[in-house]
A = this chain, B = another copy of it.
Amino acid sequence: MLTETVALLDEHGEAGLNFRALAGRLGGGVGSIYWYVSSKDELLDRASDHVLADVLAAVAEVGGGDPVDDLRTIAVTLFDAIVDRPWLGAYFMRNTLVQPNALRLFETLGQQALRLDLTARQRFHAVSAVVGFVVGTAADLGQEPPAEVLSGEVDRDEYLAATVEQWRQLDAEAFPYLHEIADEFEAHDDTDQFRAGLDLLLAGLRLQAGG
């Protein structure tokens, strides 16, 4: 059932997942899904954990190098997985009681932090910050472009172009920052942007751990 859920999600996005379509795929009635799962939220909790097994497998060997670098490797792997499947962002670690893989991934991140000279509280904060940054950033990037722009259908590129154009129209005296970064924004790559932010966070962590 989780496999079919993920397949539907991959093919038609979060909006394409509904119980009627899922039941059809499984060759059963709508009601039978409720025998295995108590709600759509729980289905997505479990589906996201199901998919997380791949992330876990990909980082199984991580742990031998510099702790901060290993933290970065795991974070980037998780980030890529959420960019691939944006619905992951909303459900990852939402309820670890039914998400053993999320818990294992959290532990794996934490084990890198265990190798840093930090207090327990600092470690807790550091790992939480990394997870928060990864999930928050990835979820932001995975957003559908707003449908209300202009009239008719607008794709992501057109929305971004309209945004830069808006920035350039602003008064340069009142908006010096937006003017400065308009070029950057136009040429920006989401993954670069994520990595740059993650590097800032990890640089701060390294400093806290004593270099």
**Which A residues lie at the B interface, using CB under 8 A?**
38-39, 41-42, 45, 94-98, 103, 106-107, 109-111, 113-114, 120-129, 132-133, 135-137, 139-140, 143, 146-149, 159, 162-163, 166-167, 170, 174-178, 180-181, 183-185, 188, 192-193, 196-205, 207-208
Known contacts A148-B39, A204-B203; decide if A110 and B178 are in contact (CB<8 Å): yes
**What's the number of copies of this chain in the assembled complex?**
2
Interface of A is mostly: helix
Report the bound CA distance from A196 to B126 in whole Å. 8
Report the bound CA distance from A137 to B193 in whole Å. 18
Residues from chain B with Cβ under 8 Å of A196 in the complex: 122, 125-126, 129
Report the bound CA distance from A41 to B176 in whole Å. 30
